Chain A
Amino acid sequence: MKNHLPVIHADNISLTFQTADGPVHALKDVSLTINQGDFVSFIGPSGCGKTTFLRTIAALETPTGGVLDVNGMTPDQARKARAYGYVFQAPGLYPWRTIAGNISLPLEIMGFAKADRKQRIARVLDLVELGGFGGKFPWQLSGGMQQRASIARALAFDADILLMDEPFGALDEIVRDRLNEALLELWRKTRKTIGFVTHSIPEAVYLSTKIVVMSPRPGRITKIIDSPLPAERPLEIRDTPEFIALAHEVREGLREGHGYD
């Protein structure tokens, strides 16, 4: 079930923004390999480049140095081949489209036939447990349900990679726990490769097979931790000594990188 083919490979990626106050090193010498089926969390304080790195994978930013390949292509080729689905912190659903209509949007843009669209929408709605809500408008749904709809939208066109930029950051803790559980379940079912940006240590530890700790000025990776936790993770796992030890290790990693400046 686990095939360790690398899907994302970053080799000494740098990204420098030229600003009025001089150059800002958003990323410096970032090297990382993400294998197929990995659930990789990026954690670190603001300005550590975790979102920027996710955006370079998605070809929404272009690195100023280094080599990055996604599915054996350049990120831009991968974007054009629709290799990934991207989920932002806000759902970004169109108010003038129903939930089904919103999920249909990328499918229409990509030219899927109508019957195929319908079947895919039904499938991903079930996957995020929103079956029966396709005909509702976004304002009729809670924040957590809207974010689930936006995940369904990112899953609908069967990209192998799912990139998520603090997808649950705007939700309250209780909803967040439920969605974390649901996301793990979804990941187990679909075997997708997931890149997940967060600034919550428990969230990173609970979800990930690999935790990438980053630190700012310049944005860089300070530690990569492979999770020893089993694939099967009920919420109660967070009270086990292994979980607490791992969370401690992540916290130490953040401290080493002067993450609490």
Chain B
Amino acid sequence: MTEIAMPAPADGFLRRGVGAALPVLTVLLAIIVIWYLAAVWMNAQWVQDQAARAGTEVGFGDLVRQTLTQDRPVLPAPHQVAIGWWDGVFGQKITSKRSLVYHGWITLSATLAGFGIGTVAGILLAVGIVHNRAMDQSVMPWAIASQSVPILAIAPMVIVVFASAGVTGLLPKAIIAAWLSFFPVLVGMVKGLRTPDAMQLDLMRSWNASPRQRFWRLRLPSSLPYLFASLKVAIAAALVGTIVGELPAGATAGLGARLLSGSYYGQTVQIWAALFAAAMLAAVLVIVVGVIEKATLTRMGLAR
């Protein structure tokens, strides 16, 4: 019986793997098809204008071919973006100003610094809110207000203020990243630090535990699942903040600067390649946090 039953789980696993990949691949394929159609449609005007100027007619085959091979298309085709991305990542020396790895590293370092600052700030504010009645009633409205101000409006001011104090480069961008990333950590940690129920707090009281012991041995470990959920949002937000911080500065380095210079010179392929690099960076960062989360919570017996 068991011998016959044995292959079933492996087989089921395989089928589940294919079953999970199939919808994803279908959607991806649909996006690429729609993208090509849109590229042909949006770039056709330029081809026809060129033809009209030269006094020639273009057939359908030529039209499609020419819309997908322009230097500065309105919408670059997927393969153009892929080639642009590949060239940016692997085709350049990583110290080159044309290298996406170089710009990606500039952005990544500011993102990680901002994420660190934001996480520490969010945790400290949450600890204050949970333990101090005055902070409980006063901090949250300000935190919410800080997030309702458009980051695009604040970023230039932060850059200018820091620059006038002679501080440029990583720190101002990290501050903008921290501005966005502290908030999810704050909200998650306030909830997390308050998860211990009345019984667990009573137990601590029956042992005459000090507030410090109650925090380190009960509240903080209980809050970790909430912290990790927040960190995933926070690190993606930090990346967005950094890129926004690179836009107004006239910065010459970073994925945001790459986006900006692309739009100055109409280099749409460069813009899209930088966009995809940023999206992939965000995905990798979230996955890394997710892996650390899973390892930590499994070890702590808190994984669901």
Measured CB to CB, the residues of A under 8 A from B are: 58, 60, 79-80, 82, 84-86, 88, 90, 92, 94-96, 105-106, 108-110, 137-139, 157
Measured CB to CB, the residues of B under 8 A from A are: 199-200, 202-210, 213, 217-218, 221, 299-302
Chain A residues, CB < 8 A from B200: 92
Q: Is the CB of A95 within 8 A of B217?
A: no
Partner of B221, one of A58, A86, A94: A94
Closest to A159 in B: B206
Q: Is the CB of B213 within 8 A of A96?
A: no
Sample of 12 further A-B pairs with CB below 8 A, known A82-B208, A96-B302? A79-B208, A85-B206, A88-B202, A92-B199, A94-B218, A94-B221, A96-B221, A96-B299, A109-B208, A109-B210, A109-B213, A110-B208
Partner of A96, one of B202, B206, B300: B300
Chain B residues, CB < 8 A from A85: 206
Chain A residues, CB < 8 A from B199: 88, 90, 92
Q: Is the CB of A95 within 8 A of B208?
A: no
Partner of B207, one of A82, A88, A138: A82
Given contacts A79-B208, A80-B208, A105-B217, contact A95 B300 (CB under 8 A): yes
**Shortest CB–CB separation between residue B197 and chain A, in angstroms?**
8
Q: Is the CB of A79 within 8 A of B301?
A: no
CA distance A139 to B300 in the complex (A): 11
**Shortest CB–CB separation between residue B303 and chain A, in angstroms?**
10
Chain B residues, CB < 8 A from A108: 217
Closest to A55 in B: B202
Closest to A98 in B: B301
Given contacts A105-B217, A109-B213, contact A58 B302 (CB under 8 A): no
CA distance A82 to B208 in the complex (A): 7
Chain B residues, CB < 8 A from A79: 205-206, 208
Chain B residues, CB < 8 A from A82: 207-208
Closest to A80 in B: B208
**Shortest CB–CB separation between residue B264 and chain A, in angstroms?**
53
CA distance A85 to B207 in the complex (A): 8
CA distance A94 to B218 in the complex (A): 9
Chain B residues, CB < 8 A from A84: 206
Partner of A109, one of B217, B221, B302: B217
CA distance A157 to B207 in the complex (A): 10
Partner of B203, one of A88, A96, A138, A139: A88
Chain A residues, CB < 8 A from B299: 96
Q: Is the CB of A139 within 8 A of B301?
A: yes
Closest to A58 in B: B206
CA distance A24 to B204 in the complex (A): 27
Chain B residues, CB < 8 A from A92: 199-200, 203
Given contacts A88-B199, A92-B200, A137-B301, contact A109 B209 (CB under 8 A): yes
Chain A residues, CB < 8 A from B203: 86, 88, 92
Q: Is the CB of B207 within 8 A of A110?
A: yes
